[in-house]
Each structure stands twice: as C-alpha cells, then as structure tokens.
Structure 1
C-alpha cells in the first residue's frame, strides 16, 4: 500500500506500489448495527485520520484493513465494498 486518501461517504482512495488504484467503500460496514470495531469510524473526523502503516490502511486504535484482500478486489473490480 502506497497511499490512502479519505473521501466523503466513508470511502477511501487507495494506491498500491504496483500502480493498482481504486476505491474502498466502507459505508455499509461503518454504519451497520453490527459494525463492531469499525463503529468508531462513523465519526467523520476519526475516519479522516486514516494512514498507511506497514503496508496496511490503518486508523488510530489499532483498526486496519487486510491489504491482500483489498488488492485482489480492486484489481478485479476497481472497488472493494465492505458490507
């Protein structure tokens, strides 16, 4: 993972070192009653604190996303929707 930029609507623009780039749509996961650890990301200010650490999309509080699954979905579809 090279870059991550928070976008409106609980989405992320991501780019990998191999040039693969796309959108991660977290809107369903973050706003779900079953969001679990992702519930804190419903606060737009907290969601915007996203960064890359050790190749993974990460937020404060040790919340992160699996870069391999993200890369596979974005390579195939241009977007990864977490539900």
Structure 2
C-alpha cells in the first residue's frame, strides 16, 4: 500500500511529498480546493497545517484528506 511518509506545504497550494517507496515530488491541489471540507484550505496558514495520519494519508485538522494513491499517480506520471 502506498503511504506518504513526508509532506511539506509550499506556496500556491503545492504539496511536496515523499512516499514509502522513495518516490518524491510536488503536486498542486489548487483545483481541489472547493466544497465545504476543502474551502478552509484556501487560507495559507490553514493549508500549512497539513499532516500525515497513522495510515500514511495527508490530512488537515478539519478532517479534509487526499488519497495517497491518487497523489502518487500524479507524481509518478511525470517520471
């Protein structure tokens, strides 16, 4: 199972990610910031509060999360 092992929030709604197989890359999630759950992430300070849950999924304090496998595929397609 693909899991995120490191995450860092960058400007312009970009996440720098490292996965458990060593793949690294950056993904913009700007196009995903709509709807009740993701709306708070438009605030840069809140966006920066990204973390990794015990299952290796990136998440925010309001329980917004993004599937690790989808992010992984976005990065892997660039290689």
TM bracket, shorter-chain basis: 0.7 to 0.9
Residue 12 of structure 2 aligns to a residue whose secondary structure is coil
1:12 matched to 2:15: yes
What RMSD in Å do the two structures reach over aligned CA positions? 1.2
- Partner in structure 2 of residue 25 of structure 1: 28
Shift of residue 28 of structure 1?
Answer: 2.7
Mark the runs of 5 or more structure 1 residues left unpaired by the alignment. Answer: 79-83
- Inter-partner Cα distance in structure 1 for 2:21 and 2:48: 24
* C-alpha displacement of 1:65: 0.3
Q: 2:7 aligns to what SS in structure 1? A: strand
Shift of 1:47: 0.3
Measured in 2, the distance between the counterparts of 1:26 and 1:70 equals 9
Residues in 1 aligned to 2:12 and 2:19: alpha-carbon distance in whole angstroms: 22
Q: How many residues align?
A: 74
Counterpart residue number, 1:51: 51
**TM-score calculated relative to the size of structure 2:** 0.86
User: TM-score normalised to the size of structure 1?
Assistant: 0.82
